[in-house]
Amino acid sequence: MSSTNRNLGSWLRWRSGRQRSGYEKMLLFANPYFVPFDCYLLRFRPGAEIAEHTDPVSEKKHYRLNIIIRRARSGGEFICSDPIYESRRIKLFRPDRSPHAVTRVIEGTRYVLSVGWIRGAA
């Protein structure tokens, strides 16, 4: 199945996140052409977390902008070793180069709007 067809099958449906760590994602938009990008709504319920990792891409630069729509009451904090920009609700970083994680959600549900794109040579 092509990545475009896979994306269409995931559109506006909750799916398990890639790290299989309890978070869920819903594809809102994707474009594989020109400047490839995707836009997801992420949901972290109690117990969800993401262990520290990177998201490598071959010979390109990967950027991600995370906007915290709703913070968990406890836990669910984003951790990144060297973000490009970071405020309480906005996180801009290079997931291909910067190790990043989300601490375990203890109470409440965390929602994040996550937009990623890939640019020219690394």
Token pair belonging to 70: 């709703």
Answer for the pair 25, 42: CB distance below 8 angstroms, yes or no.
yes
Helix (H) or strand (E) segment spanning residue 7: helix 3-10
More confident residue, 122 or 117: 117
Q: What is the pTM of this model?
A: 0.86
Question: Tokens 């990177």, residue?
Answer: 54
Query: What domains can be seen in the chain, in order of their start residue?
Result: 3-119 (2.60.120.330)
108 CB neighbour count, 10 Å cutoff: 15
pLDDT band at 9 (very low <50, low <70, confident <90, very high): low
